[in-house]
A = this chain, B = another copy of it.
Amino acid sequence: MKATVTVMLKNGVLDPQGAAVKSALLGMGFDGVQDVRQGKVITLDLADGTSQDDVTAMCEKLLANTVIESYSVDMG
């Protein structure tokens, strides 16, 4: 089975990567870009029987820094 974890910086936390991408896109002439934020996506191949609670524990303990990052888990 598969799980996909998406980790984004929380709103209000400065995102220098996103700011750099926005600046680059505007510099390339993509004038419609108003805001960019960049996060990470982690795809996990898991043994059958691994629960969403297990994946949530992985997020809390390792995958996300919950002080500044939020995460979402999508199973299957």
Q: Contact residues of A with B, CB < 8 Å?
A: 6, 8, 18, 21, 24-25, 28, 30-47, 49-50, 54, 57-58, 61-63
How many copies of this protein are present in the complex?
2
- Measured CB to CB, the closest approach of chain B to A61, in angstroms, equals 6
Contact B39 A44 (CB under 8 A): no
B61 pairs with A8, CB closer than 8 A: no
Which residues of chain B are near A37, meaning CB under 8 Å? 42-43
Nearest CB on B from A66, distance (A):
16
Question: Residue A39 contacts which of B34, B35, B43, B54 (CB distance < 8 angstroms)?
Answer: B43
30 contacts between A and B (CB under 8 A): A8-B41, A8-B43, A21-B63, A25-B58, A25-B62, A28-B61, A30-B54, A30-B57, A31-B47, A32-B49, A33-B44, A33-B45, A33-B46, A33-B47, A34-B45, A34-B46, A34-B47, A35-B44, A35-B45, A36-B43, A37-B42, A38-B40, A38-B42, A38-B43, A39-B40, A39-B41, A39-B42, A39-B43, A40-B41, A41-B41
